[in-house]
A and B are shown apart, each in its own frame.
Chain A
Amino acid sequence: EAGVAQSPRYKIIEKRQSVAFWCNPISGHATLYWYQQILGQGPKLLIQFQNNGVVDDSQLPKDRFSAERLKGVDSTLKIQPAKLEDSAVYLCASSLKQYTDTQYFGPGTRLTVL
């Protein structure tokens, strides 16, 4: 079974530029999560999708971050414009169902904002 795929693996941009990350969850997984992991910290949930609907985006800085999962499969996370403090690893995870089902994580995208 293929795992969660993410691209790109690394991205370096200058502040005020835009960037987008892509995630392909495990086949058949209805729930998709985007986490932000700042260096030295644990991951923090940004947004959670159940199929193509948003379940929780309370921690998403909506003035600059957006995410979509149009067909209930792949997802993209966008930052526009980026700030220095957005430098982090962006992790995508998926689970078969919601609630307490096991989450499987992708390798992450490391973003550096200069």
Chain B
Amino acid sequence: GEDVEQSLFLSVREGDSSVINCTYTDSSSTYLYWYKQEPGAGLQLLTYIFSNMDMKQDQRLTVLLNKKDKHLSLRIADTQTGDSAIYFCAEAGSSNTGKLIFGQGTTLQVKP
């Protein structure tokens, strides 16, 4: 079945790079997403990558996709305290209805 897994917690110092990892099981996923959730708020789309790409860069964010290993990562350069949040990886499931399968989220703690 469809499953997405993430590590639960990451702590970094302000100014360092953060790398959040995700693995997924559905090889037919066409899009993979990264969402950010701040306390008490909904999910904010950060970036996404199409499955025929292996890298996408958007300002401080870099997404790497290893389709062979079904591994996705999000790198945040020059991490700031405002980046502290929960980050969710999600895949568009194989049903082609747009249904998203989310990981359990990685809590990023940025220390000053």
A101 at interface, CB cutoff 8 A: yes
A60 at interface, CB cutoff 8 A: no
Which of B30, B45, B88 makes the CB contact (< 8 A) with A100? B30
Q: With A40-B104, A42-B88 given, is the CB distance from A99 to B43 under 8 Å?
A: no
The CA of A33 and the CA of B90, in the complex, are separated in Å by 15
Which of B30, B41, B92, B98 makes the CB contact (< 8 A) with A48? B98
B59 at interface, CB cutoff 8 A: no
B70 at interface, CB cutoff 8 A: no
The CA of A91 and the CA of B40, in the complex, are separated in Å by 12
Decide if B98 touches A100 in the complex (CB within 8 Å): yes
A14 at interface, CB cutoff 8 A: no
The CA of A21 and the CA of B97, in the complex, are separated in Å by 23
A72 at interface, CB cutoff 8 A: no
Chain B residues close to A by CB (< 8 Å): 4, 30-31, 35, 40-45, 48, 88, 90, 92, 95-100, 102-105
